[in-house]
């Protein structure tokens, strides 16, 4: 019977992972906490879920086998825009109240949780999927609100009017974690000039001097408030073309060669250099687009750098740029604090006429400003298309803007260093991603917490009705606790039904209005450590995809450091992101979605649950097959390319080979004749048995390290090498003769049983977290024992008495490799007598070790020939070859050989020849070995076995 999903389901009916090692597992009475990053309660599960849940489950099962008391609660992230947008169908959007939207959104989230829970259950996960935490549960929301109020009191959360990422497509503010970047976004880039009015500070003889700036957002020039320069840069005056104009332009000296490469600036002439950036900060210029002031300043800023495409002078629009805003805020220079765009991302015209000029659609606003405003004023020197990285709303897939808005913020700047310091105490797998974590945190601006939607946790504050900009929030302790009690009784919907005057803590004569904002869902999930684990507990492990470097890892760290001063996790594991085999994101519209549920259940490749003629049968590798694939491919921390061919061939074959190897071992362990030897007798074992015990100890060490480092792909490699090749292919093929034909009381038989027993228990222990169904199936037949794991780190020294074991076995496997290549050509080794000839003293000594006297069987067992001798002599001696006599010359181990899987290095070894002569001996009718000289007779070994 082959491994299949049906077989797994039968196993699950009668067994659970907790059945393993019930009798002899050492309980540490020590907790291990893996905190589940909540998947989003929207749609079907996808391959990213599969990778994430599988890795977590393997880590959990491993910790259980190590004796830890594992704490793990599954969770779901339930609020947010995608669910709300589903609730707002086109037909219903205009007619639904906030309460109706929330009710519909809750139903959608509940349905998604139910559907995903059912799908997750097929993955044989630890933990009770029927008792999860959900971010829309009132107990969870209360903890989140308490976190908000604590940070509000500590002034780490504040309300302000400042630039934020704004999504016109979803009409709400966004945080950095809600962005994705399109590296091929097209903008209209322009070189624009501004007239200097006090150029005599540079040179008294100058008359027409301009500041030259370059921008990819020409529409923001309507909001220009200054020009930034770097005091540490050197600047020059250039003439663009002496035949066209005498006008001079200021530019960073270092950028002149780059500017010359552009067709509109190829005739540049340098008129004056050595102008310091500090001198430029004393200049002023005229902004022809703003008649409210006579001039605008040059401002010093270190953020101005030498970048390709720039000029070393940067146009500043503090309402539409984060760095620009910081410059003006820190310098206290006054500026216009009104936005030139509305919530729909349309340009606000100066005459207040209604505008339909979109900022994000086809660069319409930039084109309008360039063609209708700047061109008539002669302010444009050059315009072209520019392709660059630009932020998009990760939900709608549309470009975002930076616009000023009254929002709630968490003061990242106040705690950023503390967050960075706390990360130093955290173990990161892989360590190479620590730099990226630190970088993303270091560049993060203050966190915009508020969203202008309905489906989420309300921000429970009030404003005076005449505070039209909603900039002065009202909230005190009495108000907060009264609101919390109301929410506990009536749920969060009570906020939308609440009249402020109903609260005892509010003066009946006041004229207050409620906030209409909800929390960013990253604040929801970022408080999960508090809501699920409690205020004093730290998780041992967070395990999520690489995309969470800017997401949940950060939001959790920030809230924990802000509230209690340290990280919520001791370690984090970062896995890759699931893509299709060509490296493309999986999408139903493209048709490249691989459904993990269908791979487990049916082995189909499909983009939906509907029947399709194009479904491709893969064979059912089951949950264990999928888990083995995840271990193999998802732990190298890079993007994971999912190829359906893996499940059709390699994985299915590997799983069945593993299962069949366990079946063979079970056949011996469950035999009535099964018998073993004592540890004290190990030195008397055949060399091949000793060798296998050494390999088992190496497998233990390598597997322990793989689990410790969370490099499960190393566990896969170790299993392929030590279980599938060392035991399944190499060892079993060589000991079958002993097992089937020696007497059951012989030392050789018992020695082989001993090795297989240790192999069974050792591989079972390390593979149980990865392949639970296969191991539970085996456990039903023969109970795994923790005490029988062969974890003896010094066994090689004990069994081989300090000899150079590695070198001797490299030599031996070079001989085996040579024979295997010849055998693969259609020859039967069991019909030939071998003589190994060498002129190497070293090799001759090695052969004497493996066969100290002619009757020794160790070398014979390794080589699988009729008989073997060895001679010291000239390799070029005459040897007649014919159809019964063959001369094989030595080869080194190569990548095409199965023996290569022993992980021996490819290197030059002592030279030898193998002379093979077809035997004249007779085939024994019992053991099928050419070990007798009498026709129709048994060999001496078989005669003795029958007599006993």
> Are 436 and 549 a contacting pair, CB within 8 Å?
yes
Q: What is the dihedral of CA 407, 408, 412, 415, to 10 degrees?
A: 150
Helix (H) or strand (E) holding 740, with range, is helix 732-741
What does the DSSP 8-state code read for residue 374? I
Distance of CA 305 to the CA centre of its chain: 33
Q: What is the pLDDT of residue 439?
A: 94
List of residues 6+ apart from 220 with CB closer than 8 A: 315, 317, 320, 321, 340
Looking at the structure, give the CATH architecture of the domain made up of residues 28-136+540-643: 3-Layer(aba) Sandwich (3.40)
b/e sequence 97-108, b meaning 16+ C-beta within 10 Å = ebeebbebbbeb
Q: Which residues does 28 contact at the CB level (< 8 Å), separation at least 6? A: 66, 67, 68, 69
Residues of the chain with CATH 3.40.50.620: 28-136+540-643
CA distance 699 to 693: 10
- The CATH superfamily of 176-401 is Valyl/Leucyl/Isoleucyl-tRNA synthetase, editing domain (3.90.740.10)
Residue 389 and residue 185 in contact, taking contact as beta carbons nearer than 8 Å: yes
Which among 675, 507, 527, 467 has a CA at the least distance from the CA of 150? 527
Q: State the Cα–Cα distance between residues 486 and 498, nearest whole angstrom.
A: 10
Q: CB–CB of 186/399 below 8 Å?
A: no
Q: Which residues pair with 164 in a beta bridge?
A: 403
CA–CA distance, 364 with 367 (Å, rounded to integer): 5
Find the DSSP H helices in 768-907.
772-781, 795-800, 805-823, 841-850, 858-863
Question: How far apart (Å, rounded) are the C-alpha atoms in residues 723 and 544?
Answer: 30
The per-residue DSSP string of 70-119 comes to EE---EEB--SHHHHHHHS-TTTTTT--HHHHHHHHHHHHHHHHHHHHHH
Helix (H, G, I), strand (E, B) or coil at 417: helix
Q: What is the DSSP string of 523-570?
A: HHHHTHIIIII-TT--BSEEEEEGGGGTTHHHHHHHHHHHHHSS-SBS
Q: Rounded to 5 degrees, what are φ and ψ at 176? A: -55, -40
* pLDDT averaged per 10 residues, the chain (length 948): 84 88 78 95 90 95 93 95 83 74 94 94 90 96 97 96 91 86 92 92 86 94 94 92 80 92 87 92 91 90 82 94 91 86 84 74 90 91 92 89 93 96 96 94 92 95 92 95 96 95 88 94 96 95 94 96 97 91 78 84 50 48 91 84 81 93 94 88 94 95 95 96 95 93 92 96 96 94 91 88 84 91 91 91 91 88 92 78 83 46 49 91 90 84 86
C-alpha to C-alpha distances, 830 to 186, 871, 932, nearest whole angstrom: 71, 21, 13
DSSP β-bridge partners for residue 237: 250, 272
């Amino acid at each position: 019977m082959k491994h299949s999903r049906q077989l797994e389901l039968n196993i699950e009916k009668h067994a659970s992972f907790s059945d393993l090692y019930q009798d002899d597992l050492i309980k540490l009475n020590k907790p291990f906490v893996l905190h589940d990053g909540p998947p989003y309660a929207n749609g079907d599960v996808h391959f990213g879920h599969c990778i994430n849940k599988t890795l977590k489950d393997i880590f959990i099962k491993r910790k259980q086998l190590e004796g830890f008391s594992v704490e793990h609660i599954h969770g779901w992230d339930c609020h947010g825009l995608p669910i709300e947008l589903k609730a707002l169908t086109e037909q219903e959007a205009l007619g639904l109240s906030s309460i109706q939207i929330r009710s519909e959104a809750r139903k959608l989230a509940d349905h998604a949780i139910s559907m995903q829970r059912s799908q997750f259950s097929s993955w044989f996960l630890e933990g009770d999927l029927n008792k999860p935490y959900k971010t829309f549960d009132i107990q969870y929301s209360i903890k989140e609100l308490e976190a908000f109020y604590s940070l509000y009191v500590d002034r780490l959360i504040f309300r302000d009017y400042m630039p934020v990422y704004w999504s016109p497509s979803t009409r709400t503010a966004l945080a950095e974690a809600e962005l994705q970047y399109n590296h091929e976004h097209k903008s209209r880039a322009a070189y624009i000039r501004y007239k200097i009015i006090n150029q005599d500070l540079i040179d008294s003889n100058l008359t027409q001097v301009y500041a030259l700036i370059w921008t990819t957002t020409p529409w923001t020039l309507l909001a220009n408030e200054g020009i930034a320069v770097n005091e540490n840069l050197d600047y020059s005056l250039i003439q663009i073309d002496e035949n066209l104009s005498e006008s001079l332009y200021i530019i960073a000296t270092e950028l002149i060669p780059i500017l010359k490469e552009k067709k509109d600036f190829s005739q540049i002439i340098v008129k004056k250099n050595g102008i310091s950036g500090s001198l430029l900060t004393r200049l002023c210029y005229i902004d022809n687009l703003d008649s409210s002031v006579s001039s605008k300043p040059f401002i010093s800023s270190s953020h101005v750098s030498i970048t390709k495409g720039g000029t070393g002078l940067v146009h500043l629009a503090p309402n539409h740029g984060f760095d620009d805003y910081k410059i003006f805020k820190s310098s206290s220079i006054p500026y216009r604090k009104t936005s030139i765009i509305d919530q729909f991302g349309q340009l606000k015209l100066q005459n207040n006429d209604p505008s339909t000029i979109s900022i994000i659609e086809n660069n319409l606003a930039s084109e309008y400003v360039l063609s209708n405003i700047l061109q008539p004023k002669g302010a444009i020197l050059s315009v072209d298309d520019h392709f660059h990285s630009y932020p998009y709303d990760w939900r709608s897939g549309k470009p975002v803007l930076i616009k000023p808005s009254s929002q709630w913020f968490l003061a990242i700047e106040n705690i950023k260093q503390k967050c960075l310091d706390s990360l130093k105490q955290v173990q990161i797998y892989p360590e190479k991603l620590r730099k990226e974590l630190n970088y993303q945190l270091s560049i993060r601006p203050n966190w915009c917490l508020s969203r202008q939607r309905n489906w989420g946790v309300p921000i429970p504050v009030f404003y005076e009705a005449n505070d039209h900009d909603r900039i002065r929030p009202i909230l005190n302790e009495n108000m907060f606790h009264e609101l919390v009690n109301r929410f506990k009784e009536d749920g969060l919907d009570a906020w939308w039904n609440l009249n402020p005057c109903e609260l005892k803590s509010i003066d009946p004569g006041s004229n207050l209005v409620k906030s209409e904002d909800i929390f960013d869902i990253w604040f929801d999930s970022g408080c999960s450590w508090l809501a699920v684990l409690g205020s004093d507990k730290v998780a041992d492990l967070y395990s999520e995809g690489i995309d969470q470097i800017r997401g949940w890892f950060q939001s959790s760290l920030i809230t924990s450091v802000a509230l209690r001063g340290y990280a919520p996790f001791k370690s984090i594991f970062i896995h890759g992101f699931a893509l299709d085999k060509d490296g493309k994101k999986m999408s139903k519209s493209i048709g490249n979605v691989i459904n993990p549920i269908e791979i487990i259940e049916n082995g189909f490749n499909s983009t939906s649950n509907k029947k399709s003629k194009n479904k491709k049968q893969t064979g059912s590798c089951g949950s264990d097959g999928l888990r083995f694939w995840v271990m193999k491919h998802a732990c190298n921390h890079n993007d994971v390319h999912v190829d359906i061919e893996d499940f059709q061939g390699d994985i299915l074959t590997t799983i069945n080979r593993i299962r069949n190897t366990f079946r063979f071992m079970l056949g011996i362990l469950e035999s009535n004749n099964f018998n073993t030897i004592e540890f004290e007798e190990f030195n008397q074992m055949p060399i091949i048995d000793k060798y296998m015990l050494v390999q088992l100890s190496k497998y233990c060490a390598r597997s322990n390290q793989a689990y410790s480092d969370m490099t499960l792909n190393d566990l896969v490699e170790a299993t392929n090498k030590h279980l599938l090749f060392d035991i399944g292919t190499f060892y079993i093929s060589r000991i079958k003769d002993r097992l089937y034909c020696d007497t059951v009381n012989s030392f050789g038989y018992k020695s082989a049983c001993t090795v297989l027993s240790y192999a069974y228990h050792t591989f079972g222990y390390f593979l149980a977290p990865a392949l639970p169904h296969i191991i539970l199936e085996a456990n039903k037949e023969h109970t795994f024992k923790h005490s029988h794991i062969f974890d003896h780190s010094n066994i090689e020294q004990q069994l081989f008495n300090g000899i150079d074991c590695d070198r001797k076995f490299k030599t031996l496997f070079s001989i085996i490799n040579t024979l295997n290549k010849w055998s693969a050509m259609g020859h039967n080794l069991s019909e030939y007598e071998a003589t190994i000839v060498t002129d190497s003293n070293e090799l001759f000594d090695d052969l004497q070790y493996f066969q100290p006297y002619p009757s020794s069987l160790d070398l014979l067992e390794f080589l699988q020939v009729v008989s073997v001798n060895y001679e010291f002599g000239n390799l070029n001696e005459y040897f007649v070859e014919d159809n019964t006599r063959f001369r094989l010359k030595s080869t080194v181990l190569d990548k095409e050989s199965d023996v290569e899987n022993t992980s021996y290095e490819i290197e030059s070894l002592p030279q030898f020849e193998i002379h093979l002569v077809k035997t004249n001996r007779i085939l024994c009718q019992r053991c099928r070995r050419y070990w007798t000289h009498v026709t129709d007779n048994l060999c001496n070994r078989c005669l003795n076995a029958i007599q006993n």
